[in-house]
Amino acid sequence: MGSVSTDSERAGAAQLVSAQSAPAPQSAVVRFVDDHRAELIQRVTLVEPIADALKHLIQDEAYSNIRAARTSQEKMRVLYQALHSGGPVLKAAFYTALYQKEPHLVQHLGAV
């Protein structure tokens, strides 16, 4: 019975540490997205799959404008406008989608 209590205490402590450290990674991700804006605009090629992953977080008009843009660079500029208005939560979701779709680019730029 004592081990159940200890396991519960460990789980509670792990949740507390996790909750306390959660903002730091998000701020690092936001900084990554902001700091690498120019390079990401130039180098991301899979913009539409990334936008698809974010569709539930961005406005329909922004999503349509991304799809309508002619080049990857134009698509990324429109996506960055949406990221700016979406704040840290959207930027964190963008980073996750970017890492899933173009992991080598993220790693090359110094993944968080």
CA distances from 98 to 8, 16, 17, 29 (A): 36, 29, 27, 11
Kindly report the CATH number assigned to the domain that includes residue 94.
1.10.533.10
Residue 3 lies in a domain: no
The structure tokens listed for 90 are 């959207």
Would 98 be classed as within a structural domain?
yes
All residues at 6 or more sequence positions from 25 whose CB lies less than 8 Å from its CB, including other chains: 112
Whether 5 is covered by a domain: the verdict is no
- Per the structure, the complete domain to which residue 36 belongs is given by 23-109
Length of the chain, please?
A: 112
* CA neighbor of 83 nearest in space, from 104, 66, 103: 66
Contacts with 39 (C-beta within 8 Å, 6 or more apart), sequence order: 109
Give the chain's domain count: 1
pLDDT score at 26: 86
pLDDT of residue 12: 41
Using 50 as the pLDDT threshold, list the residues of the chain that sit under it. 1-24
